[in-house]
C-alpha cells in the first residue's frame, strides 16, 4: 500500500481521482498552525480528507473546525441542530420522544451541502459515532475531476450558465412533517448559482449541481434544461470520479463543498441506528434568489 510523508503528515490516497487519508493526527490534542495549514492544503487539493479513530467530544469537533473558518449556526435548519451546540448539524435515525428523527432521511441524494443558500459552505466536517453493523456507506464524487474531463466544446457551452438550486425539490420532502416542510420552504427560496464555479483557493473549475435540486438552467424551461443537466450529473457520478466510504466508528471525513458532491446511502437494515454530527464551514456569498424566468 502506497504511503507518503508530506511535511510530517503521513498520507494515503483513497481513490484514483481524489481523496486522501491523513494518519496519526489526534484531534484531542492542539494542532500547530503549520499542521492546520498543511491539512488545509491537502483538503483543497484532494476534495476529501479522512481522519480515522477520532474519539472526540462535540467541543473538540467544533474547535478543530473553527481552525478552517467561521462556522454556520444552521439558522435556516434549526430542526436539525444539536440541542446544546448550534454549530452541530445532527444526522440520526434514532427516534426522539417516540417520533422518527427529523434527519433520518437527510442526504439520500447526490448534493453539495446547502447549495440552495446565498452563502454556500466552504466545507463540512463529519464525525461518525453510531453506525449500523452493515451498510450506511457514503458516496463521494469529484466535480473538479468531472469538469476537467469534459470536452473543450462542452466547457464553452456551459461557461456562464446558471442553475436553479431548489431545496423543496428534494424527494424526501414528501415524507417529512408538513409543518416542517412549510418552515423549510419559508427559509429556503430557490437560488440561482453558477453552473461552473472557480474554487477560491485552487483556482480550478468545478461543476456545481445536484441530483434533485437543480432541474433547470436560468433562461430555459425545465424541459429544455433536462437533457443538459442529466448529462452533466451522470458524468459527475461516473465511477471514474467517485469514492465509496465504508465508515468505521469515530471516522471523520472533511469534504470540500466547492469541489465534491456526496450521497448518504440507505443501505442498512430498518431499525438499525446511525448517529453522526457535522460542522459546516461558511464560504463566500454566491448566487441570488431566483423568482422565475
User: Which residues are the active-site residues?
Assistant: 111, 113, 262, 278
DSSP per-residue codes, 18-47: S-EEEES--TTS---HHHHHHHHHHHHHHS
Residue 94 Rama label (left phi>0; alpha psi -120 to 50; beta): beta
CA distances from 138 to 121, 246, 254, 261 (A): 19, 7, 13, 10
How far is 17 from 45, CA to CA, in rounded Å? 11
- β-bridge partners, 255: 48, 124
- What is the distance of C-alpha 148 from the center of its chain? 20
For the chain, the C-alpha Rg in angstroms (whole number) is 19
Strand stretches in 87-221, DSSP E: 89-92, 123-130, 138-142, 162-165, 191-194, 196-198, 205-207, 214-217
Q: Provide the grid cell at 223.
A: 424541459
Compute the distance between CA of residue 68 and CA of residue 84 in angstroms, rounded to an integer.
22
Q: Supply 61's cell numbers.
A: 469537533
Amino acid at each position: 500500500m502506497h504511503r507518503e510523508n508530506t511535511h510530517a503528515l503521513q498520507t494515503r490516497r483513497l481513490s484514483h481521482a481524489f481523496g486522501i487519508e491523513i494518519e496519526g493526527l489526534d484531534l484531542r490534542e492542539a494542532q500547530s498552525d503549520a499542521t492546520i495549514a498543511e491539512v488545509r492544503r491537502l483538503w483543497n487539493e484532494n476534495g476529501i480528507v479522512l481522519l480515522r479513530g477520532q474519539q472526540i467530544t462535540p467541543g473538540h469537533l467544533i474547535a478543530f473546525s473553527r481552525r478552517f473558518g467561521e462556522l454556520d449556526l444552521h439558522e435556516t435548519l434549526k430542526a436539525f441542530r444539536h440541542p446544546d451546540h448550534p454549530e452541530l448539524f445532527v444526522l440520526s435515525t434514532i427516534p426522539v420522544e417516540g417520533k422518527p428523527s427529523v434527519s433520518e432521511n437527510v442526504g439520500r441524494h447526490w448534493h453539495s451541502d446547502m447549495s440552495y443558500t446565498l452563502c454556500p459552505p466552504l466545507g463540512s466536517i463529519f464525525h461518525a459515532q453510531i453506525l449500523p453493523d452493515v451498510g450506511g456507506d457514503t458516496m463521494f464524487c469529484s466535480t473538479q475531476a468531472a469538469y476537467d474531463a469534459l470536452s473543450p466544446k462542452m466547457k464553452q457551452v456551459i461557461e456562464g450558465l446558471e442553475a436553479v438550486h431548489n431545496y423543496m425539490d428534494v424527494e424526501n420532502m414528501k415524507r417529512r412533517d408538513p409543518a416542517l416542510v412549510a418552515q423549510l420552504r419559508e427559509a429556503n427560496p430557490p437560488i440561482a448559482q453558477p453552473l461552473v464555479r472557480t474554487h477560491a483557493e485552487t483556482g480550478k473549475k468545478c461543476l456545481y449541481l445536484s441530483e434533485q435540486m437543480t432541474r433547470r438552467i436560468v433562461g430555459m424551461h425545465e424541459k429544455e434544461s433536462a437533457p443538459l443537466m442529466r448529462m452533466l450529473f451522470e458524468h459527475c457520478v461516473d465511477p471514474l470520479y467517485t469514492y465509496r466510504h465504508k465508515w468505521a466508528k469515530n471516522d471523520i471525513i472533511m469534504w470540500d463543498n466547492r469541489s465534491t458532491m456526496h450521497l448518504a446511502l440507505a443501505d442498512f437494515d430498518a431499525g438499525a441506528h446511525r448517529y453522526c454530527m457535522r460542522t459546516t464551514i461558511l464560504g463566500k456569498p454566491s448566487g441570488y434568489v431566483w423568482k422565475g424566468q
